[in-house]
Amino acid sequence: MVAGDEDILAVEGLSLSFGGAVAFAEIDLSVAAGEIHAIIGPNGAGKSSLINAITGLYAPQAGRLRIGDARFARVPARRLAELGVARTFQNLALFKSLSVVENVLSGLANVQRAGLTAQLLGLSAARREATEHRARAESVIDFLQLGMFRGRAAGSLPYGLQKRVELARALVANPRLLLLDEPMAGMSAAEKAEMSGFVLAAREMLGTAIVLIEHDIGVVMRLSDRITVLDHGRRIATGTPHEIQANPAVIAAYLGAEDDPENEAKAA
């Protein structure tokens, strides 16, 4: 599958192995501007490894990626902010001892224009940029309803709120592509509903394209415009939520329908 010019992300024939173990192979994937595109599959299917390859943490052995108009064999991680890409991690990666607002401000570290000398000397350009960044951080904190916690140490907050702080840090730079690696893992049903609302609102407010890895299939089906399914490192299906729910290969690989004669009959 070759993505069109309107796609913000195109993954073309991407393959990654660790020693003799295949993480994923020959993956094709496209994400349109403003789309929520979920990647699902059983544990070990290669989902997080694919996100890590897209963001330059892993170096694929084959294939290419395109982000906007820029093409790469391996995305330089240092250029993610410049490319308009932000992400969250499967495991929280907050600065636990820093306040909520300080954590959110850290999401702007790679888009600072004022140099270190200007910051140290307190030059007017550095002061203006600091004021602008603080305003952006406060805006996204209010958007995610974290205002009452802005001065609290991030590590002192309940888990669900820490996940929200991590989302705020990713959104503060107004990314055009946001990769969410299990943003609702470990959350209660109420927390998942809140986070789902914030994800949708971020897409509507910023026009951000979102790649979502999430194990809660109900959440995936409600949020996604399209879904790609991986199994044992291979892409076995891409389609709308309705198409994926009805796909026999997905039913067998992901939902375990091979053990259910009634589902096998429906898929036949």
109 pLDDT band, cuts 50/70/90, is: confident
C-alpha–C-alpha distance, residues 209 and 177, integer Å: 5
- CATH numbers and ranges of domains, the chain: 1-84+176-268 (3.40.50.300), 96-174 (no CATH)
**Could you tell me the pTM of the whole model?**
0.84
Does position 5 have pLDDT exceeding 70, yes or no?
no
C-alpha–C-alpha distance, residues 23 and 50, integer Å: 8
Q: 207: helix, coil or strand?
A: coil
Please state, in angstroms and as integers, the Cα–Cα distance from residue 55 to each residue in 81, 167, 179, 189, 267, following that order. Answer: 10, 16, 9, 29, 36
- For the record, the structure tokens of 70 come out as 């820029």
pLDDT at residue 131, as a whole number: 81
Does position 93 have pLDDT exceeding 50, yes or no?
yes
Q: How many CA atoms lie within 13 A of 238 on its CB side?
A: 12
**Phi then psi for 188, rounded to 5 degrees?**
-75, 170
**Phi then psi for 78, rounded to 5 degrees?**
-65, -15
pLDDT tens digits, 117-167: 444 445 566 667 788 889 999 999 999 999 999 999 999 999 999 999 999
Does position 230 have pLDDT exceeding 90, yes or no?
yes
Does position 267 have pLDDT exceeding 80, yes or no?
no
Q: Evaluate whether 226 touches 239 at the Cβ level (below 8 Å).
A: yes
